[in-house]
């Protein structure tokens, strides 16, 4: 069961960050320590904001991408930042104790616009999704970042990715209206990684799936016989959750069952998911 949380009076705008970007802001993300915000924009820049008392100040602007920056994300350590762009590249930035950011590598493994980048929850392993229908997975070896696996299977643009908490699996969603679950056979080994698609969820959406975490909630069957072929079932669905396209959804990392979604209608909605008790 999933219900909307409608008490808007309990939320107050604490700060509005302006003067950093000249065009649409596509993504904003917190640093693991909670002190910094990074924002990615169609003006081809990424802004880094630092919390000072009750406000935020712009500490640096990362430049270098030729076109729109589609996503920005911090590594779990907080020492690395990844950005991706319409220019088909993924950049990895290193930050030092003086808040100085340096691009340590530019990766060109995709042939089209890169839509999303996401870090492994505990390791410095990065995955990216692209308009070329593929997912790429990167890892540093001998001081150089390399593409260790290309996950092929979607038939149209891959919009979003999510690692599971263990980091052993990736969920990807696509313009082909499917969600695929990929499992890694060996994260620790050197050389190329071996990823396998172990499950495809299809027939649930009538249009493009833009983000994976969903306003449809799927649950893995704990009694799945084969771990290489897990079974997922639809356990919750909110029809017309927004009046226009839903662009992004995210689970609260601390409070189980709390979900947030945002839409083209300009609204942000909070949802509470609770498993129904078995009779």
pLDDT digits (tens, 9 = 90+) for 219-268: 556 666 566 666 566 555 555 655 666 666 676 666 666 666 666 666 66
Name residue 49's beta-bridge partners: 37, 58
Tell me the C-alpha distance between 113 and 116, whole Å.
10
Q: Which residues have CB under 8 Å from 72's CB, separation 6+?
A: 27, 29, 38, 39, 40, 46, 81, 82, 83, 117
Which pLDDT does position 208 carry in this prediction? 62
92: pLDDT strictly greater than 60: yes
Tell me the C-alpha distance between 103 and 100, whole Å.
10
Which pLDDT does position 182 carry in this prediction? 92
How far, CA to CA in Å, does 258 sit from each of 35, 48, 70?
A: 23, 27, 26
Q: What is the pTM of this model?
A: 0.76
Tell me the C-alpha distance between 71 and 90, whole Å.
10
Q: Sorting pLDDT into bands at 50, 70 and 90, what band is 216?
A: very low
192: pLDDT strictly greater than 60: yes
Which pLDDT does position 279 carry in this prediction? 47
Q: Give 3-state DSSP helix, strand, coil % of the chain, rounded to 5.
A: 0, 50, 50
Tell the burial category of 245 from Cβ atoms under 10 Å away from its Cβ (0-12, 13-18, 19+): exposed
- Mean pLDDT check: name the lowest of 195-199, 210-214, 230-234: 210-214
Q: Which residues have CB under 8 Å from 196's CB, separation 6+?
A: 182, 183, 185, 228
Q: What is the mean pLDDT of the chain?
A: 80
Tell me the C-alpha distance between 244 and 247, whole Å.
9
């Amino acid at each position: 069961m999933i219900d909307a949380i409608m008490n808007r009076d309990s939320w107050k705008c604490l700060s509005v960050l302006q003067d950093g970007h000249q065009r649409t802001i596509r993504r904003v993300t917190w640093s693991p320590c909670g002190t910094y915000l990074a924002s990615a924009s169609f003006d081809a820049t990424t802004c880094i904001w630092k919390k000072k008392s009750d406000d935020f100040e712009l500490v640096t602007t990362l430049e270098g991408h030729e076109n729109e920056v589609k996503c920005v994300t911090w590594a779990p350590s907080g020492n690395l930042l990844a950005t991706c762009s319409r220019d088909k590249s993924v950049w990895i930035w290193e930050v030092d104790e003086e808040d100085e950011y340096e691009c340590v590598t530019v990766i060109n493994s995709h042939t089209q616009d890169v839509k999303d980048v996401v870090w492994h929850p505990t390791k410095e392993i990065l995955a990216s999704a692209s308009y070329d229908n593929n997912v790429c997975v990167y890892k540093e070896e001998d001081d150089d970042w390399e593409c260790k696996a290309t996950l092929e299977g979607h038939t149209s643009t891959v919009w979003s990715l999510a690692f599971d908490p263990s980091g052993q699996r990736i969920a990807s969603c696509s313009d082909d209206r499917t969600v695929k679950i990929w499992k890694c056979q060996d994260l620790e080994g050197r050389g190329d990684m071996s990823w396998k698609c172990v499950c495809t969820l299809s027939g649930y959406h009538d249009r493009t799936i833009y983000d994976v975490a969903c306003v449809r909630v799927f649950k893995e069957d704990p009694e799945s016989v084969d771990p290489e072929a897990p079974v997922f079932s639809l356990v919750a669905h909110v029809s017309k959750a927004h009046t226009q396209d839903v662009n992004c959804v995210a689970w609260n990392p601390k409070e189980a069952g709390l979900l947030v979604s945002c839409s083209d209608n300009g609204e942000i909605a909070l949802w509470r998911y609770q498993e129904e008790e078995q009779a």
